[in-house]
Each structure stands twice: as structure tokens, then as C-alpha cells.
Structure 1
Amino acid sequence: MNSFQLYFKLGVQHILDLQGFDHILFVLALCAVYVARDWKKILWLVTFFTVGHSVTLALATFKVVTVNSDLIEFLIPVTIAITAFSSILKPKPNTSRGFQFAYGYALFFGLIHGLGFSNYLRQLLGSEASIWQPLLAFNLGLELGQVVIVGIYLAITSILVGLAGVKRREWTLIISAFVLGIALMLMLETKYW
């Protein structure tokens, strides 16, 4: 397996790893207000998240940015909680301004999440002659992993909201409350103060 494939696979695994489920929770929080017909909007949201994640991952890997890892480990569940809570408050972004806001916080929160994995990735990349290709491969794998989560979410949503008759608002509240509850527990586990 060449270096590109290795880091691509690592990016996919990073997102889909059930032991590091914070990314899955964040993607679910982003998706909570959407249904299958909104698939393009969701894909844009996760792409904005990936861009933010990629920027700080690169900056941290090149040691341009250094942040206390304990602070980042606390801020990651904070971003998840904020995203889930905003879905509870406004369960359907029905304006273009609402979509723009969602893209903005997906990008900003991606910046925070990117810092969370940077130390580990920096150690992995230490032996690489050039880190640009592995960094690109990792981020493309990250994006694919998120698309897999979105696909699973949309399939379940289509069955429950589209076929089983679950009300869209109820589904949004269920997903958002579930994610918010876990995020709050993670915040207590990783408290920074």
C-alpha cells in the first residue's frame, strides 16, 4: 500500500472510528435538521467542516499553530453541543441566511476539530519526506468518511420520516437531544477548568 492510500484510509478510519465518535456526533448534529431532499446542503456543510479541519490540521502539523490539547479536547464537545442545541432551537433552516450561518459554523468548528488530531498526525508524518500528499490523502479520506455517515443518516431519515410517518420536527429533536446529551457528558469528562 502506498503512502497516499495509507493516509486516505487513515482519514476514513478517523471519522468512522466508534471509539473516537466525536466526529460522528458532530456530523449528526449538522444533519439533524435536514432530510433526504437536502442532500446537497448537507454535503456542502460537511465539506465546509472538512476545509476548516484541513486548515488547522495543516497549520498544526507544520507547527504554525500550537494550542493546549486539553483545551481542544474540551472545545470539541462544546462545538457538538452548540450545533445540536441550535438544531433544537431552530429545527428547520428555512432561509438562505440560515444556511450561510450553518456553513460558517461548520467551517469554524472544523478549525477546532482539526486541532484535536494534529499531534497524532504530526507524529505519523514525522518520517515522511513531504507531508503535502499524505495530508491531502488524509483529508480526502476524512471527507469520504463523512459522506458515509451522511448517507447512513439520510437512509435512516428517509425510512423514518419518509415512510414510517415520524414527524420531521420530532426526528430533529430526537437526534439533536441525543447528540446534545452525549456532548454534555463529554464536556464533563474533558472539563478544562
Structure 2
Amino acid sequence: MKKIMFTGRFYALIAAVAMLMFTSVNVLAHGMSEADKQRAIEAGLPDYILLGAGHMLTGYDHLLFLFGVIFFLSRFADIVKFITAFTLGHSITLVFATLYSVQANYFLIDAVIALTVCYKGFENLDGFKRYLGVASPNLMWMVFGFGLIHGFGLSTRLQELPMGDGSIVMKILAFNVGVELGQIAALTAMLVLLAGWRKTASFKRFNVMANTLLVIVGGLLFLHQLHGYQHTVLADNFPINTDDHSHIHEDMAAEEKANILDRYPRRIITPQPSPQEEAPHEHGDGAYHRH
């Protein structure tokens, strides 16, 4: 009975996440807000540190990947080793892609980042050996490589900000310091959570389900980012503005409904006028009546 209830809640959680993601392309975007852009015009280095920390703490895709990386790591040395590889990777692309203005559509980059979340969940499930019959790729190099991709995603967001005057290099480095501080804060919370969970019987019982959820959420994030990309490519047909976006989908649904109705022949019924009530009359027999 408990297993059935847990499974029901598991699928309910997946449905809730899916509905939240596809309600609007602005939901879970974790981009640079207009307030961030305005603040960046005259921002100093401390402000860029705060922006970097805030962006990492709201970067659900980065955090999910990190959660997958440390999920089974219990030795402090292993945690430091893998997190250092990830940090080096994302620092390299964050700094150099921003410095040399290397750009790409951030929805596509975030879609690839979502796939890294799927990968880590799949690897935690021993999917390569179980389903593909091959050994898992070297995790250290994969984490470093994925760090490069995550750093490029961070760079595309940083490049949305008006850097203004002053040393751009120092601002990039300050933002990166903020990212690292946010990462340390998030990792601390995750490690405390996992350390407590590993001491319970439910960890062995539900770690497979937790990593399966990681794969599923990563897949939903991937679809969500592709949906956002569609809105940037077809901006006239699919505006990103929340209100216009909702109206577009409502109009599309109404048009589709009309098209479905047009596929079936319609029976046209001509309304008949109601007969006028006749006055009482008789046919020579003296009996008055109405038709």
C-alpha cells in the first residue's frame, strides 16, 4: 500500500513539474531580469558577485546536475575532485566566451545542459552497463566537459548585461566568484541533505526512483528549452511576452477545434414558423373546435 501511494505521488510530482514548465516559456527561465540589467549599468564588482551567486542559486539545471554528481559520493576527497573538475570547466568557458563575445542561442545551450542532467541520472542508474552493455565513460572527463557546456550557458546570460565602463575582465571574474560562492552554498545544503538521507533505510529503497526522476526532469527541461527556442526563432508567431504567449496558444487551440469541426458535414435545419392559432369554428354541425 505504501509503495502504491509513493508511486502515485511520484507521478503526480512529474505531472506538476511538466505543467509548471509548459505554462509559459518565462517559467523557470532563470535568465537575467530587467532589474538585473538596469542594476548592471552602474554596478560595481560586489554587485557582479551578487548577480553571479543569485544566478547559480536559481540555476535549477546546474544544481540538478551537481546533485547527480555528488549523489553517491561520500568521501570528501572524491567530492572535491569532481567539483573541482566541474568548476574548472565552467570557469574556462564563462570567462573566455564572455571576454571574446562568443554567443549562441541560450535556449539551445540550456537544452544541452538539460541533457547533461539526463546523462548524470542515467549514469547513476548504471544505465550504460545495464541497458547498453558498455562501461560508463570516464566520469572525471565527462564532468569537466559538461562543466564547459554549463559555463557557456552562464556566459550567454552574463552577456545579456550591459557591462558599461570599467574593466570588463574584472566584472567577469567577479561574476564568476559569485557563481562559485553560490555553488558552495548550494552544495553545502545538498551534502547535508544527502548525509542525513543516507542514514535512513529509504535511501537504498528510493535512490533508483530519485535518479529516474532526475532523468525525467532533465528530459522535461530539454523539451521546455526547445519550446523557448521555437519562440525566439518564430518571434512573430510565438511572442515570449506572457500575455501574448497565452493568447497565441488559446487562438491556436480555437483554430484547431474549428478545423476539426469542419471535417464533419453539418446538418442545416431550417426553422419552421410556428403555426398561427386559429379561431374556434364549426363545420355546420354546431360543434365549435380548433385545428
Q: What TM-score do the two structures reach when normalised by structure 1?
A: 0.79
Question: SS at 1:119's partner residue?
Answer: helix
- Aligned pairs for 1:118-129 (under 5 A) are 118-124=155-161, 126-129=163-166
Q: Is residue 2:50 matched to residue 1:15?
A: no
User: What code does the residue aligned with 2:61 have?
Assistant: D
Partner of 1:94: none
User: What code does the residue aligned with 1:52 have?
Assistant: G
Partner of 1:180: 215
Partner of 1:34: 73
Q: Distance in 2 between matches of 1:49 and 1:125?
A: 27
Partner of 1:24: 63
Structure 1 residues 124 and 171, CA gap change in structure 2 (3 angstroms): same
- Aligned pairs for 1:83-102 (under 5 A) are 83-89=120-126, 101-102=138-139
Structure 1 residues 53 and 21, CA gap change in structure 2 (3 angstroms): same
Contact 1:29–1:175 (8 Å) recurs in 2: no
Contact 2:101–2:159 (8 Å) recurs in 1: no
Q: Distance in 2 between matches of 1:134 and 1:171?
A: 43
Q: Is residue 2:187 matched to residue 1:150?
A: yes
Q: Give 1:111 deviation, angstroms.
A: 1.0
Q: Distance in 1 between matches of 2:205 and 2:52?
A: 33
Q: Distance in 2 between matches of 1:72 and 1:108?
A: 14
Partner of 2:260: none
Q: Distance in 2 between matches of 1:50 and 1:141?
A: 12
Q: Pick from 58, 65, 69: which aligns with 2:95?
A: 58
Q: Give 1:170 deviation, angstroms.
A: 4.1
Contact 1:25–1:179 (8 Å) recurs in 2: yes
Q: Distance in 2 between matches of 1:150 and 1:170?
A: 23
Q: Distance in 2 between matches of 1:24 and 1:54?
A: 16
Partner of 1:93: none
| Structure 2: gaps (5+ residues) | 1-42, 128-134, 231-291
Percent identity over the alignment is 30
Structure 1 residues 125 and 46, CA gap change in structure 2 (3 angstroms): farther
Partner of 2:45: 4
Q: Give 1:185 deviation, angstroms.
A: 0.5
Instruction: Tell me which protein shows more helix as a share of its residues.
Output: 1
Alpha-carbon RMSD:
2.7
Q: Distance in 2 between matches of 1:82 and 1:147?
A: 23
Q: Distance in 1 between matches of 2:177 and 2:138?
A: 24
User: What code does the residue aligned with 1:176 have?
Assistant: N
Q: Give 1:127 deviation, angstroms.
A: 0.7
- Give a deviation string over 1:98-148, Cα, whole Å, max 9, x none: 9x9222112111111122232331243521421222222222222222222
Question: SS at 2:201's partner residue?
Answer: coil
- Give a deviation string over 1:129-186, Cα, whole Å, max 9, x none: 2122222222222222222222222212222212x2344x445424322221110111
